[in-house]
Structure 1
Amino acid sequence: MLRPNKTVPDDWPPITPASAGPSGGAKAGESLPPELSLTPRRPLRTSFMLVVPLALSLLASVNRLPASDQADGAAGQSAQSASPATQPGAQAAPHQAPPEKKDEFKINVDVSLVVLHATVLDRRGGRPVDDLGRDSFRVYEDGVPQKLSVFSHADIPVTMGIVIDDSGSMREKRPGVNAAALAFVKTSNVQDQAFVVNFNDVYYLDTPGDFASNLEDLKSALDKIDSRGGTALYDAVNAALDHLKLGNRDKKVLLVITDGEDNASRYTFEQLVGTAQKSSAAIYCIGLLGEEQPGGLFKMKGGEAKRAAKVLKQLAEFTGGQAYFPKTLDEVGSTCVHIAHDIRNQYTLAYYPSNTRKDGTFRTVRVEALGPDRHTRLLVRTRTGYYAPREASALASGQ
């Protein structure tokens, strides 16, 4: 099992041009070398091979929706299922998947279907809009309108990873951050799969098995605190994205919590973006980067904080997530609950691309939504694009 290389030049920049990265620096969209893996306390196999994103390998077979809404080869809007996030005192925790029920939302494998999970907000107050139908949405790929084949607004089970900074500067913050992360997982669907990655200049999978089986497993993983060293943020997120592939839920999510710039990774930011855009995962980031607060917990200032914030904002934007920058630890808890609510109240949209070429190119995606009055334009947050699959002949020829 290969382990991360801890030896990083002293002048290694936080956002490195691709040409300066390890192994020559892969550009966004290129396959990455199989050099990194999550290491003990629990080793994790990672491949970092070029794979077709899950979002391109799903079929419009939505069993949860009423039969009347499945006409025209697609699923209509179903009543949103009750989420533990909306129930007082809910304490549900992710666990290994029980047998699937007949009425569960399920999308089966089809490499040509593009699946998007979209958050819709009103433009004035930024409040979620949850009463839209299929006709409210327009999807464009490279500027060309696409026909929706799947539409749903339901609490879909999630494979999620919680990736938490455990560098020396996080020592005093970890108890509050851990409590916030537990608040996040307590809102989960009972069908969810979850794992925890703690990282400093190395990174670890700290859940027993590939995923936690109960809330105690998650709490134990979060409590494995060894706050020291640097911040290998890019490497840790890269490995967590790879581990998400082991999950079998249709929606993939990472929650990343950090208080600083990357200063210990072998991978560059550009390489990480390339990996993220090949994945269907939405990445939500919480940056503890504000000016120094009473108690001295948030100490980043000036250019350092701006650079770190830019990285988190871009990573979230590219993947359809969101970046948050709370000023106090108390705000971290409410932010995690807000993120959980966001994940539970998304629309699922899917289409077969009108561009059927399997050329491995990056395709931009844009989603527009109108309010129930069909005039009010709403804000839509989803991933900005995806990589088309390649024909086997193109892969063999190295194109």
Structure 2
Amino acid sequence: MRLLNKAFLLAAAGWLTGTVGFGQEEGIATFRTDVRRVVLNTTVVDSRGHLVTNLPQSAFRVFENGVEQKILQFRREDIPVSMALVVDNSGSMRDKRQRVESAALNLVKASNPQDEVMIVNFNDEAYEDVTFTSDLKKMEEGLTRIDARGGTAMRDAISMTIDRVREAAKKDKKVMLVVTDGNDNMSSISLERLLQKAHESGILIYCIGLLSQEDKREAKRAKRALDALATASGGAAYYPNDLNEVEKLAQQVAHEIRNQYVIVYSPTNQALDGTFRQVKVNVTGPNRPVARTRSGYYATPEPAKRQQVSQASSR
């Protein structure tokens, strides 16, 4: 598990590298009180699964509930990130723990001073061992607290982390990286409610699932949950066959996060009626590219804090 954490941390550190440009324009990533906007962090891959990073705005079309939307802003930038590192330290992860710690530690060490990281360890309960910080020493101390024991409340841990990211994150772009065996046997929140929270949050959720090779039924159930979270949020889920693959996957996630398109549109339907709005991004180009972004959002008012930030940035 110590090696796995190391690879995990290296990847997190990698995607935490960002430029100042986007962060200086706070209004682009917040809802304004006069005109509501939706921000889509979008990944494009070709038919071979390779990232496509050089497409023009004209290659993209955005649809909300089947109605095409006008793209107001478009760019591809490596921007500062608020990242939550969520690590399973339940008893079922005991034999994987050394690799996980090693991956996580390397990821933290590679973090950029402009970015911030929080660390959540969980078993049958979730523990916010490190709140958002750029202090490497605090991150390392938080990771060393990982102790594989107890049951697994994965959904509850992700739910708590979503709440904390929404409350405390300072960067416009928010990412969660979850490392777990997915063997959830203690959570109280349902998958359906958790998916709703993921849609509402706008957080990109990436998962590395170290699924059981023995209990096929449990592995299938865990995969369904992780896939659903990744699809809802616009992230991705990966399932290494070997612990040695974890570091490579973490680096892959880091690279993807640094090479996404930012698409902003103002919905033709401005009503804040609480309904779910399905979002789809179509893209054209060589080698049959496919766009991946969050599958939708709930049309509800933004919290007062975020509205105030947006108003201040527009003055």
Q: With structure 1 as the length reference, what TM-score do the two structures score?
A: 0.67
| Aligned-partner SS, 1:163 | strand
Q: Which residue in 1 is equivalent to 2:56?
A: 133
SS at match of 1:353: coil
Residues 289 and 305 of structure 1 are in contact (CA less than 8 Å); yes or no, is this contact kept in structure 2? yes
Task: Let me know the Cα RMSD of the aligned residues.
Answer: 2.5
1:286 pairs, out of 199, 208, 224, with 208
Q: Does 1:113 align with 2:113?
A: no
Quickly say closer, same or farther: Cα 1:391–1:236, change in 2 above 3 A: closer
Matches of 1:391 and 1:226 in 2, distance apart?
37
The answer to whether the 8 Å contact 2:108/2:140 transfers is: no
1:173 aligns with 2:173: no
Question: Mapping of 1:318-357 within 5 angstroms?
Answer: 318-357=232-271
User: Where is the strand percentage greater, Structure 1 or Structure 2?
Assistant: 2
CA deviations over 1:268-323 (Å, ceiling 9, x no partner): 111111111111101101110152xxxxxxxx421111111111111111110101
Quick one: structure 1 residues 313 and 231, their matched pair in 2 at CA, closer, same or farther if it must change by over 3 Å?
A: same
SS at match of 1:354: coil
Aligned to 2:232, the other structure's residue is in SS state: helix
Q: Which residue of 1 aligns with 2:289?
A: 378
Number of residue equivalences: 287
Could you say which residue in structure 1 is the equivalent of 2:191? 269
Q: Secondary structure at the match of 1:172?
A: helix
Aligned to 1:182: 105
CA contact (8 A) 2:44 2:291 kept: yes
Aligned equivalent of 2:3: none
Matched residues in 1 for 2:248 and 2:69: separation? 37
> CA 1:344/1:351 → structure 2, altered by over 3 Å: closer, same or farther?
same
Post-superposition shift, 1:103? 7.7
Contact 1:121 1:128 in 2 (8 A): yes
Q: In structure 2, do the counterparts of structure 1 residues 226 and 104 end up closer, same or farther at CA, with 3 Å as the change threshold?
A: closer
Picking from 359, 364, 370, the partner of 2:278 is: 364
2:95 counterpart SS class: coil
2:158: which partner in 1? 237
Structure 2 unaligned blocks of 5 or more:
1-9, 304-315
| Contact 2:155-2:189 within 8 A present in 1 as well | yes
Q: Percent identity?
A: 45
The secondary structure found in structure 2 opposite 1:265 is: coil
**Structure 1 unmatched ranges of 5 or more:** 1-84, 292-299, 393-399
CA distance, structure 2, for counterparts of residue 261 and residue 140 of structure 1: 36
- Offset from partner CA, 1:246-284 (integer Å, 9 cap, x none): 112111111011113211111111111111111110110
- Structure (1/2) with the larger helix percentage: 2
CA contact (8 A) 2:15 2:255 kept: no
**Cα distance in 1 for residues equivalent to 2:77 and 2:126:** 34
Larger radius of gyration: 1
TM-superposition CA deviations, 1:69-113 (whole Å, max 9, x none): xxxxxxxxxxxxxxxx99xxxx88969x9xx96785523143411
Greater RCO (CA < 8 Å, at least 6 residues apart):
2
Structure 1 stretches of at least 4 aligned residues deviating more than 4 Å after TM superposition: 91-95, 100-105
Q: Could you say if the C-alpha distance between residues 153 and 308 of structure 1 is closer, same or farther in structure 2, counting changes exceeding 3 Å?
A: same
TM-score, with length taken from structure 2: 0.85
Residue 52 of structure 1 is matched in structure 2 by none
